[in-house]
Amino acid sequence: MSFVEYGDTIKDGDTAIVFLGHESMFPVKVQHGTVTQTKYGVIRHSTDLIGKKYGSKVTCSKGGWVFILHPTPELWTMNLPHRTQILYSTDISIITMMLELKPGSIVCESGTGSGSLSHALIRTVAPTGHLYTVEFHQQRAQKAREEFREHGVEHLVTVTNQDVCKNGFGVSNIADAVFLDIPSPWEAIGHAKSALKAEGGRICSFSPCIEQVQRTCLAMEEYGFTEINTLEILLRVYNVRTISLQIPDLGKAAEDNSSSGFDSSNPSHQGSPCANLQQGTVQFKSGVPLREVVGHTGYLTFATKS
């Protein structure tokens, strides 16, 4: 099992996603002789998982069933253990596009955090690219190394435990892109410029506060970056529902009734088409936004090394 290469069957030691529903799923490490409890009953790894194909429908001990999915960066983002605040797919997608990443790209990242963005970057630059990720916190750095090894991507990433604002990324003039998610990104702009290739490298800084963005933009200008722009990505989800509305009375039916001598008070005319038209309804599909939506996450500031 690897997050960058699809495997057909579930093997001992794999990380799999137990899918109970769109709003209910969780990761599990497949181990021989282990069981996993769900609301539908027990899943026995030895008999229910190992050797089965990813995507299989597995029946639990109580008669309910779940799907076992192959892990992807998107599924991992939704289910990973949170060691820090993480980036979600909405921001990750625009970061990947604006940094112009592709297979073979060299990327520097700080900080690693819970590894949500890291897994997406590794999948994008594989199989010939590389990610250099820097984490200030020693325990988080060590945990990230263990996860990358378990997920089969350790050959595509180098984890360094140091302060990027003081010591940089540990590489010079090779990176195609740099990503910063730290409290004071303006202090790392000089090191980011040193890590980027001689010309045309891209940089992105993620900051939740506009004051951080202002100081970062000033630092980018000071170090000669161009094409500086800031984006905020807001996701608005719509539900498709069936809505019923009354047909409006525009007066035409009443005019037709009077001109034709129609008497609405006559009981024999109560079932006429004109009477039904005034009281009828029409149904149609419509998109309705959710009452509660995810608001501001952070500002994304992009620039180019000239």
* DSSP letters for 101-164: --TT-EEEEE--TTSHHHHHHHHHHTTT-EEEEEESSHHHHHHHHHHHHHTT-GGGEEEEES-H
Per-residue pLDDT band at 272 (split at 50, 70, 90): very low
Per-residue pLDDT band at 253 (split at 50, 70, 90): low
- The verdict on whether residue 75 carries a ligand-binding annotation is no
- The verdict on whether residue 163 carries a ligand-binding annotation is yes
pLDDT at 266: 55
Q: What is the value of pTM for the model shown?
A: 0.84
- 9-71 under CATH 3.40.109.10, yes or no: no
Q: Which CATH superfamily is domain 75-234+295-305 in?
A: Vaccinia Virus protein VP39 (3.40.50.150)
Residues of the chain with CATH 3.40.50.150: 75-234+295-305
Residues of the chain with CATH 3.10.330.20: 9-71
Share of the chain above pLDDT 70, in %: 91
Average pLDDT over residues 268-297: 71
- The verdict on whether residue 181 carries a ligand-binding annotation is yes
pLDDT at 263: 54
Q: What count of Cα atoms within 13 Å lies in the side-chain half-sphere of residue 70?
A: 15
- The verdict on whether residue 287 carries a ligand-binding annotation is no
pLDDT at 30: 96
- The verdict on whether residue 261 carries a ligand-binding annotation is no
Question: Would you give the DSSP letter of residue 178?
Answer: E
User: Is-contact 178 205, C-beta < 8 A?
Assistant: no
- The verdict on whether residue 135 carries a ligand-binding annotation is yes
